[in-house]
Structure 1
Amino acid sequence: MSVIRQPGVLGRTTRRRVVGVTAAFSAAAVETTTVGLWFGLVVGSRSTVTALVGLGVLFCGSLLRTSVFGATVGELETLLEPRRLGAALALTTGWIVWLLLAEGIDGRAGALVATITLGAILAAQFSLEQHVFQPWSVEREALTSIVSSALLAAGAVVLLSSAWFVDWSLVAPPLSLGVTTLVIRIETIQLGVLGFGLFATLAHQRRFQRVLDV
């Protein structure tokens, strides 16, 4: 009843939820697009050019995702200061270490070790990011960082499995459009990117919901 008597409180709560949902979807979209493009570039036959392009895509995406977090909980006037660039670099490093470990150890054991390592790096990166943009709430939000990083790491498992452990495709019957024939083909890696995106959305939704409630 006290909330009903104070419409300003209800308005602030609603605005906070809308901001949190918008920010979570934005961060998830950036993360999914970035990691998906980078993974698609480097998971197959890799060259120096694709590795460098993939690294650039990954870092720019990490910087943009960090910007989304900063714009939501703080400010972006000093986004390019070393500590904030360090948060983006830590995120980039986490994904690179994940793939290198998975490839180096190979098999399901490699995927497991890489995923656990990625989860730890992401938890540390989330905490670093929050320390930079919202330092007063770091201690209270340690558990949120762990849960969100675990969800994102689970999405990474889906993505890696779709490329390495599952090999099938779904082809729809050809569709004739005048002089053109359209064939729709769905690969497992496309579904893997979709699955990763769902986990990323859950991870960021939980994270933004908690940090905006502080």
Structure 2
Amino acid sequence: MSVIRQPEVLGRTTRRRVVGVTAALSAAAVETVGVGLWFGLVVGSRTTSTALAGLGILFCGSLLRAGVFGATVSDLGDLLEPHRLGAAVVLTTGWVLWLLVAELIGGSIGVVVGTTVLAGVLTAQFVLERRVFRLRAKRSNDGTTVTAAISGLLMAAGASALLATTWFTDWVLSSPPLSLGFTTVVVEIVALHIGVLVFGFVAFLAHQHRFQRILDP
């Protein structure tokens, strides 16, 4: 019998897709805000206070993203359980390690090596996150590792764009002065803003691929 003759099947498929897109948008938004704020803090005037503030923002973003994943695929439960905190710590460590490796090597080689390291850490974290939320493969050829690797590579590519726009470009787009009452406002768009937008879009693609594979029967 075709799907058209089974409206309940079509309805379930549509609901899964809506849930997957919504979850991917939510996860990408959380990731973009968390990573973007952390990155903006540490690439600027790096002091002990900004480094600690950035690390706290990054960890909270990692924990919230894990919460989005948990709420989508299983019971959310308590995010402060040790094994779920561990998944957030792995994700946070991956981002810090990415920037550290890239800065230690420097240049385009540093971007490539850092991106490779980040892709590996993200792949491991995605697999770990599935196990943390007790999401078992639906079939033996579920392709959990392959799915995690593709999503990890996508997100690492977005991170490389974020880093490249900061290191290798310095242009600024400014609007004409806008008079608002007693003050004048100038809107500026720098390369970092474009990098964050690119990262957010690629993060959405990565999470969408991941959720689609998980939610499909």
Q: TM-score range by the shorter chain?
A: over 0.9
Q: Structure 2 length as normaliser, TM-score?
A: 0.94
Report whether the alignment pairs 1:172 with 2:175.
Answer: yes
Corresponding residue of 1:71: 71
Q: Residues 123 and 148 of structure 2 are in contact (CA less than 8 Å); yes or no, is this contact kept in structure 1?
A: yes
**How far off its partner does 1:81 sit?**
1.9
Corresponding residue of 1:58: 58
Runs (4 or more) in structure 1 with deviation over 6 Å come to: none
Q: Structure 1 length as normaliser, TM-score?
A: 0.95
Q: Where does the alignment leave 5 or more consecutive residues of structure 1 unmatched?
A: none
Identity %: 64
Q: Aligned equivalents of 1:114 and 1:50: distance in 2?
A: 22
Q: Aligned equivalents of 2:55 and 2:82: distance in 1?
A: 19
Match of 1:141 among 139, 144, 147: 144
- The amino acid across from 2:127 in the alignment is S
Q: Residues 120 and 149 of structure 1 are in contact (CA less than 8 Å); yes or no, is this contact kept in structure 2?
A: yes
Corresponding residue of 2:124: 124
Range with bigger deviation, 195-204 or 5-14: 5-14
Paired residues, number: 214
Corresponding residue of 2:43: 43
Q: Aligned equivalents of 1:180 and 1:80: distance in 2?
A: 46
Corresponding residue of 1:205: 208
Q: Where does the alignment leave 5 or more consecutive residues of structure 2 unmatched?
A: none
Match of 2:184 among 156, 181, 185: 181
- Any idea what SS the aligned residue of 1:44 has? coil
Q: Aligned equivalents of 2:81 and 2:178: distance in 1?
A: 53
Q: Aligned equivalents of 1:45 and 1:182: distance in 2?
A: 24
Match of 1:195 among 191, 194, 198: 198
Q: Deviations over 1:4-56 (max 9, x none)?
A: 22211111111111100000000000000000000011112211111111111
